[in-house]
Chains A and B, each alone.
Chain A
Amino acid sequence: MAHGISVIALLLMLGASTIARAQEPELPVSEVAPGIFVHIGVTALMTRENEGAIANVGFIVGDSAVAVIDTGGSVREGRQLLAAVRKHTDKPIRYVINTHAHPDHSFGNAAFVDPGASFVGHKNLPRALTMRGQFYLDGFRRTMGDALIDEVRLVSPTVLVEDTLKLDLGGRSLTLKAWPPAHSDNDLTVFDERTKTLFAGDLVFLTHIPVVDGSLKGWLDALDELAAIPAERVVPGHGAVSKWPAALADERRYLNALAADVRALIASGKPITVAAETAAASERSRWQLFDDYNARNATAAFSEMEWE
Chain B
Amino acid sequence: MLRHRIRLLCFASLASVALAASVAPAAAADAYDPWPGLVQDIFNNRPMNDGSDVIGIEMPARAEDAAIVPVTLRTKLSPGDNRRIKTITLVIDQNPAPMAAKFTLGPDANVTEISTRVRVNNYTDVHAVAELSDGKLYVTKVYVKASGGCSAPAVKDAEEAKNRLGQMRYRQFARPEQGPASNIREAQIMIGHPNNSGLQMDQVTHLYIPAFFINEVQLWQDDSPVLAMEGGISISEDPNIRFTYVSNGAKHFRAEAKDTDGHVFQHEWNADASGT
Q: Which residues of A contact B (CB under 8 A)?
A: 2-3, 6-7, 9-10, 45, 102-104, 124, 126-136, 138-139, 142-143, 145-146, 154, 156, 181, 184-185, 211, 213-215, 218, 269, 271-273, 276, 292-293, 295-296, 299-300, 303-304, 306-307
Are A218 and B65 within 8 A (Cβ)? no
Q: How far is the CA of A135 from the CA of B160 in the complex (A)?
A: 22
Contact of B160 among A10, A102, A181 (CB under 8 A): A181
The A interface, classified by DSSP as helix, strand, loop or mixed, is helix
The answer on a CB contact under 8 Å between A181 and B157 is yes
**Which 5 A-B pairs rank lowest in CB-CB distance, beginning with the nearest?**
A296-B64, A3-B3, A132-B152, A131-B154, A102-B150
B20 within 8 A of A: yes
Contact of A296 among B147, B201, B204 (CB under 8 A): B147
Residues of A within 8 A of B51 (CB): none
Residue B127 lies at the interface, judged by CB distance under 8 Å to chain A: no
Interface residues on B, range: 35 or more
A7-B6, A129-B203, A296-B147 known; A135+B240 contact, CB < 8 A? no
Q: Is the CB of B156 within 8 A of A299?
A: no
Closest residue of chain B to A1 (Cβ to Cβ) is B3
Instruction: Give 1 or 0 for each of B141-161: 1 = CB within 8 Å of chain A CB.
Output: 000001111111111111110
A36–B68 alpha-carbon span in the complex (Å): 39
Q: Nearest chain B CB to A44's CB is how many angstroms away?
A: 11
| A-B contacts, 18 listed (Cβ < 8 Å) | A3-B3, A3-B6, A45-B148, A127-B158, A131-B155, A131-B158, A132-B152, A135-B153, A139-B152, A143-B148, A213-B150, A218-B157, A271-B115, A271-B242, A296-B151, A299-B68, A300-B65, A303-B117
With contact pairs A9-B10, A292-B149, A303-B68 given, residues A135 and B154 touching in the complex (Cβ less than 8 Å): yes
- Are the C-beta atoms of A276 and B70 separated by less than 8 Å? yes
A227 to B80, CA, bound (A): 63
Contact between chains at A307 and B148 (CB < 8 Å): no
Residue B192, interface by CB 8 Å: yes
CB <8 Å contact, B25 and A142: yes
Given the complex of chains A and B, what is the CA–CA distance between A18 and B163 in angstroms?
A: 52
Closest CB in chain A relative to B119 CB, distance in Å: 10
B87 interfacial by beta-carbon distance below 8 Å: no
Question: A299 to B153, Cβ gap below 8 A?
Answer: no
**Which residues of B lie under 8 Å from residue A6 when comparing CB positions?**
3, 6-7, 10
Is the beta-carbon distance between B204 and A10 smaller than 8 angstroms? Answer: no
The answer to whether the Cβ of B164 comes within 8 Å of any Cβ in the partner chain is: yes
Once the chains are docked, how many angstroms separate the CA of A142 from the CA of B155?
A: 23
Which single member of B3, B20, B25, B204 contacts A2 (CB below 8 Å)?
B3
B6 touches A10 (CB 8 A): yes
With known contacts A3-B3, A307-B164, A215–B147 Cβ distance under 8 A: no
A276 to B21, CA, bound (A): 33
Residues on A with C-beta less than 8 A from B26 are: 142
Residue B66 interfacial (CB < 8 Å): yes
With both chains docked as a complex, state the minimum distance between the C-beta of B118 and any C-beta of chain A, in angstroms.
12
Residue of A nearest to B6 (CB): A6
Is B24 an interface residue, CB under 8 A from the partner? yes
B135 at the interface (CB under 8 A from A): no
Q: How far is the CA of A3 from the CA of B148 in the complex (A)?
A: 46
Given A135-B121, A296-B65, are A303 and B25 also a contact pair (CB < 8 Å)? no
CB neighbours (8 Å) of A129 from chain B are: 203
In angstroms, Cα B3 to Cα A6, docked, is: 8
Assuming the contacts A3-B6, A271-B115, A299-B70, asked whether A134 and B200 have C-beta atoms less than 8 A apart, the reply is: yes
> What residues of chain A lie closer than 8 Å to B48, measured between beta carbons?
none
| CA of A128 to CA of B147, assembled, Å | 18
Interface string of B6-32 (1 = CB under 8 A from A): 110110000000001100111000000
Asked if B39 is at the interface (CB within 8 A of a chain A CB), the reply is no
Structural contact, B10 and A10, CB atoms closer than 8 A: yes
Distance between B144 CB and nearest chain A CB, rounded to angstroms: 14
Q: How far is the CA of A145 from the CA of B20 in the complex (A)?
A: 9
Encoded as 1 (CB less than 8 Å from any A CB) or 0, chain B from 164 to 177 comes to 10010101011000
- A130:B200 contact, CB within 8 angstroms: yes
B2 within 8 A of A: yes
Q: Can you name 10 extra interface pairs (CB under 8 A) apart from A129-B203, A218-B157, A300-B68?
A: A130-B203, A135-B154, A139-B146, A154-B203, A215-B156, A276-B60, A296-B147, A299-B65, A306-B240, A307-B190
Instruction: Please tell me which one of the listed residues A142, A145, A185 contacts residue B157 in the complex, with CB atoms under 8 A apart.
Output: A185
> Is the pair B156, A185 in contact by a Cβ cutoff of 8 Å?
yes
Q: Assess the A269–B150 pair: CB atoms within 8 A.
A: no
Give chain A nearest CB distance to B65 CB in angstroms.
4
Are A126 and B64 in touch, CB under 8 angstroms?
Answer: no
Q: Does B131 contact A (CB under 8 A)?
A: no
B18 shortest CB reach to chain A, Å? 13
Minimum CB–CB distance for B194 against chain A, Å: 10
